[in-house]
Amino acid sequence: MIDLTWSVDPTWFQLGTLQVRYYSVCFILALFGGYLLLSWQVRRGGGDIEEAGDFLTYGGLGVFVGARLAHVLFYDLEHALNDPLWILKIWKGGMASHGAMVGVVAAMYLFTRRRGMSLVEGLDRLVWSAALAAVTGRIGNLFNSEMAGSPTNASWGVRFPLLDGPDAPLRHPAQIYEIVLGLIVLVLLYYFDRKWGKEQRWRGAMLGLFLTAYCSGRFFAEFFKETDVVAVLTTGQWLSLPGVAIGVWFLWRSRRQKQPVGWCT
């Protein structure tokens, strides 16, 4: 029997009125780590390291706007209507990964279009950063005691008193499930990047692998969450299905076209 309680203060430190939360730290780590991973991929593909820095502005804004708007529209619209300023309080949590993916795709589209580059090539290089952000984002959710899973209705689970109060039920630690999912996706990216010959791989293969693996994992993770069901499936599952389909299509397309990768081509 596992009966654990998670009641960590979400504030990392406070100095007077200045308050820094773990969630904010995780967001910054995602941007910094994502920049390092993208820089590695850009350099390996023959690009200039400064281009990764340039994209950080596009990508950071895309992730923020996309993730926040998706959370508001699909999961917490009533809260936003009652308190519009809450939309800007990202340090309190509330960032949807599906929206982050849409936002970063839009950002990469603008970035590559201005440089006359392939959007698929850019996204191929960016999936490592996206997988890392999936991990750090759920770590931030864990520290905020949010995005917890549904009650286990058993003698095992994790209690979240900051979420449920002193009589907190035993829940699935859905945040941890998705942290593990993000780490598994990173391992898969590393393994298949080497298996497919690194810079000898086909364009679109890494993007297809990421979407297929991550969105499939998110689909099954939704079974352990307490969320609205819309026509049999949950909102998160409906949002995951297009990602799986697009990922499979990119895997098929990359194998069919066999177009070589290259940042500047």
- Helix then strand then coil, in percent of the chain rounded to 5, is 70, 10, 25
State pLDDT tens for residues 96-149. Answer: 666 777 788 888 888 888 888 899 999 999 999 989 989 998 999 999 998 899
Q: Which is more confident, 59 or 23?
A: 23
In the predicted model, what is the mean pLDDT of the chain? 87
- 171 near 155, Cβ under 8 Å? no
Q: Residue range 88-93: average pLDDT?
A: 63
Q: What is the pLDDT of residue 185?
A: 98
Q: Kindly list the domain boundaries of the chain, sorted by start residue.
A: 17-257
Residue 143: name the closest of 11, 1, 245, 254 by CA.
11
The backbone region for 197, taken as left when phi is positive above 0, alpha when psi lies in -120 to 50, beta otherwise, is left
**Residue 18 has which token pair?**
């200045």
Lowest mean pLDDT among 36-40, 98-102, 198-202: 98-102
pTM above 0.85, yes or no: yes
pLDDT, one tens digit per residue, over 249-258 is: 999 999 999 9
Q: Give the burial class of 165: count Cβ atoms within 10 A of its Cβ; 0-12 exposed, 13-18 middle, 19 or more buried.
A: exposed
The pair of structure tokens assigned to 249 is: 């299509």
